[in-house]
Structure 1
Amino acid sequence: MHHQMSAEMQECMDACHQCHVTCLSMAVNHCLEAGGRHAEPQHIKIMLDCAQICSVAMDFMARGSEHHRHICRECAEICRACAQSCQGLDGMEDCVQACLRCAEACEKMAA
């Protein structure tokens, strides 16, 4: 039987994908080049954690895993931590936005 994906789940997967790409590319192409607070290990780590968990959440939803709810809950928490780390740093608005959008979508999936 083919797993039917809800519009809400598709929206969450799209948000996860956008967040994954944004965090990964900004960590490597913006933060490391900007240096200073942008390149602090804790900041880079949360951005890479965020990119990874978004990818994992997307995979779990794509295959209709019954475990997607707690993965999405974890994803939302990490996305919020990443958004907080990015807030106040120059040029990080896109990342903050992507993280918050993903956190909201994942919180809906976790409910």
Structure 2
Amino acid sequence: MHHISAEMKQCIDECLDCYSVCLSTAMGHCLEMGGEHTKPPHFKLMMACVEICRTSAHFMLIGSEHHKHVCRECAEICMECAQDCERIGDMQECVDACRSCAESCRKMSA
């Protein structure tokens, strides 16, 4: 089994947290609110964020060297998602989870 550093363990946790928060926000809050919350560009971005976070955690857990590329993309998508959720408003938990994940993934991709 490969060794997972404390920094990587934290990044995995941040990715899984962001995955969970974004998915539950999209499926609960956004679908209930409708309007801006369910417009295709925003909703697709949230789903992309959910998927890239799950994938990044998976790549780190299996010890793939490709995790650096995936984490770089994850950081970019998470920042976009954070900005869009902030723009629409009333999704602070999602904004915070995305920013945390983006920061952690940025470090992992270095």
TM-score bracket, shorter-length normalisation:
over 0.9
Paired letter, 1:69? K
Paired letter, 1:58? A
Q: Deviation at 1:99?
A: 0.1
Aligned residue for 1:13, secondary structure, equals helix
Q: Distance in 2 between the 1:32 and 1:68 partners? A: 32
Partner of 1:5: 4
Partner of 1:87: 86
Q: Deviation at 1:90?
A: 3.5
Q: Distance in 2 between the 1:68 and 1:37 partners? A: 33
Q: TM-score, structure 1 length as denominator?
A: 0.96
Structure 1 runs (4+) greater than 6 angstroms displaced: none
Q: Deviation at 1:64?
A: 0.6
Q: Deviation at 1:91?
A: 2.1
Partner of 1:99: 98
Aligned residue for 1:87, secondary structure, equals helix
Aligned residue for 2:87, secondary structure, equals coil
- The number of residue pairs the alignment matches comes to 110
Partner of 1:61: 60
Structure 1 residue ranges without an equivalent (≥5) = none
Q: Distance in 2 between the 1:99 and 1:90 partners? A: 14
Q: Distance in 2 between the 1:25 and 1:58 partners? A: 18
Paired letter, 1:83? A
Q: CA RMSD in A?
A: 0.7
Partner of 2:49: 50
Aligned residue for 1:88, secondary structure, equals helix
Q: Deviation at 1:88?
A: 3.2
Partner of 1:36: 35
Q: Deviation at 1:13?
A: 0.3
Identity of aligned residues (%): 54
Paired letter, 2:74? C
Q: Distance in 2 between the 1:83 and 1:17 partners? A: 16
